């Protein structure tokens, strides 16, 4: 009741959310534009404040959001600077028909964004770029969370696992991705749920031990 500012209606809604979704559910409140109080359930891992870095990736379909199912995911620690780094990645888009690609990185150069935008416009590839707005240890933890969710690894530009050397079978898999201007939600493939559950259990154990 206290967390809902002693508003009984909101308190009842919050209670019902916890009952339906579990005590580890993340809840955020916002002002309703519909004139009523309601809740919207979003399955998956949500990146607040992280949407498509450019309208290049959404405007071709006349939308402000990028929503796709069966998405292959590339996770990058650091900033993608040069188009050459994505040569193999883009080749997947041409070779693998109907392939939908999502890149989540801690930064994108203008060269990268413009190059991918031209490929969307001229070659019809389906790709989206999302900038992770958190760096440092927290940023690395988020990328590792996403790697577990999508059954992949985190790549870098100057690390052992370099983006330019990536193979298609190493890309992550997301059942669904919803990317809007103010957030992106990634839903993992159900066949990897056991790995996610084991990872969550490990994190809880570490928290309980104060690690």
Q: Between these two residues, 139 and 25, which has the higher pLDDT value?
A: 139
Q: Residue 5: helix, strand or coil by DSSP? A: coil
pLDDT at 1: 41
Q: How far is CA 199 from CA 66, 149, 152, 188, in A?
A: 28, 9, 14, 13
The overall average pLDDT reported for the chain is: 78
Cβ-based neighbour number of residue 113 at 10 Å:
17
72/159: higher pLDDT: 72
Coil, helix or strand for 210?
coil
User: Sorting pLDDT into bands at 50, 70 and 90, what band is 205?
Assistant: low
| pLDDT over 70 (residue 169) | yes
The residue ranking higher by pLDDT, 94 or 19, is 94
pTM: 0.74
């Amino acid at each position: 009741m206290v967390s809902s500012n002693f508003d009984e209606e909101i308190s009842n809604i919050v209670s019902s959310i916890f009952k339906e979704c579990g005590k580890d559910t993340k809840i955020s409140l916002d002002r309703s534009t519909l004139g009523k109080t309601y809740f919207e359930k979003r399955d998956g891992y949500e990146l607040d404040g992280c949407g498509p870095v450019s309208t290049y990736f959404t405007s071709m379909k006349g939308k402000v959001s990028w929503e796709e199912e069966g998405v292959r995911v590339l996770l990058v620690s650091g900033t993608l600077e040069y188009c050459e780094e994505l040569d193999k990645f883009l080749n997947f888009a041409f070779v693998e028909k109907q392939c939908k690609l999502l890149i989540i990185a801690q930064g994108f150069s203008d060269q990268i964004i413009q190059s991918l935008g031209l490929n969307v416009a001229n070659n019809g590839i389906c790709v989206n770029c999302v900038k992770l707005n958190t760096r440092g240890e927290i940023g690395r933890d988020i990328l590792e969370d996403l790697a577990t969710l999508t059954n992949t690894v985190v790549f870098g530009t100057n690390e052992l696992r370099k983006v330019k050397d990536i193979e298609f079978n190493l890309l992550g898999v997301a059942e669904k991705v919803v990317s809007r201007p103010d957030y992106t939600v990634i839903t993992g493939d159900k066949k990897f749920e056991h790995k996610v559950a084991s990872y969550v259990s490990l994190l809880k154990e570490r928290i309980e031990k104060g690690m």
